[in-house]
Amino acid sequence: MMRSVVRGFGAALPKRVMTNKEIEAKVDTSDEWIVQRTGIHQRYIAGEGETTASLGESAARAALARAGLTAEDIDLIIVATSTPDNTFPATAVNIQNRLGMRHGAAFDLQAVCSGFVYGVATADAYIRGGLAKRALVIGAETFSRILDWSDRTTCVLFGDGAGAIILEAQEGEGTNADRGVLTAQLRSDGIHGDKLYVDGGPSTTGTVGHLRMEGREVFKHAVGMITDVIEAAFEATGTTADDVDWLVPHQANRRIIDGSAKKLGIPLDKVVVTVDLHGNTSAASIPLALDTAASDGRIKKGDLVMLEAMGGGFTWGSVLIRW
């Protein structure tokens, strides 16, 4: 069986760090309130010259360097983003050009905070179908540019950044001992579209718009939806929570992360948490967390790693990977 094996990983963050204290000067909130409700202490904010494409390029170059590869070795680029540099061309094509890559295919994928999970699942399908040998999957966002900085319920939550992994086609034996993607579970339900959205777009208002969210509604659905796709991954592979070495969740809110782990019976010391440092970076949050935990040696070759996310739409999904 052909497997999509992680060959490299990388990340990139803007230069500027914005602390909760700085946000206190913008809106009626406090560091104590933000930390208690979300677990966030700081986030990174893109400055002049820093864009989704530039951050994505930096993350891609870091992943290539770690893998010992060049752009010539990649034949597919998928960029998960809700904040592209332009309506078109795709940010993936922009990054392809920045990398000097003149072959293969590149496209953007939009599933909001679930985008990276969707991107990994899509790349895995390309690889298993023989349409790609090596895929660069990037999650990159500049959410600070669609925030309403007068809305204290949303502006405290989000940050900017990018992360990337390289998936490579390798033969496996078709068992759970294989390295690579073992299963992907994707879901969506558009009935929830008005609970987390941007109030603008080319075809409606002709503007970029701002992020709007019904926080309580999102929280209410999050733990159940996340549990759904993780349990589906267990069922598909015959594994259990005890088999998981690391849970790498979308970094939206510490309470959601802790609640999901508790419901699944996964100890918190097996959960990778970076929301305190990065905030919610949407599609970039999982690859940023992967880079953090793999770089510091927590995630090691052979570990069973569960990725999960939920985002606007609603979309949600999981990917189980043998690292």
Active site residues: 113, 250, 280
Q: At 288, which amino acid appears?
A: L
Question: Which structure tokens are listed for 284?
Answer: 């970039």
Exposure string over 267-299, b if 16+ CB within 10 A, otherwise e: eeeebbbbbebbbbbbbbbbbbbbbbbbeeeeb
Query: What type of residue sits at position 184?
Result: A
Task: Give every strand in the sheet of 180-188, ordered side by side.
Answer: 180-188, 315-322, 304-311, 246-249
CA dist 249 to 35, 119, 275, 280, Å? 18, 15, 10, 11
266 DSSP β-pair partners:
none
Phi–psi pair at 21, nearest 5 degrees: -60, -40
Find out whether 53 and 95 touch, Cβ atoms under 8 Å: yes
What residues have CB less than 8 Å from 248, skipping those under 6 apart? Answer: 272, 286, 289, 290, 293, 299, 305, 306, 307, 308
What letters, b where the CB count within 10 A reaches 16 and e where it falls short, cover 32-71?
eebeebbbbbbbbbbeeebbbbbbbbbbbbbbbebbebeb
First to last CA, the chain: 17
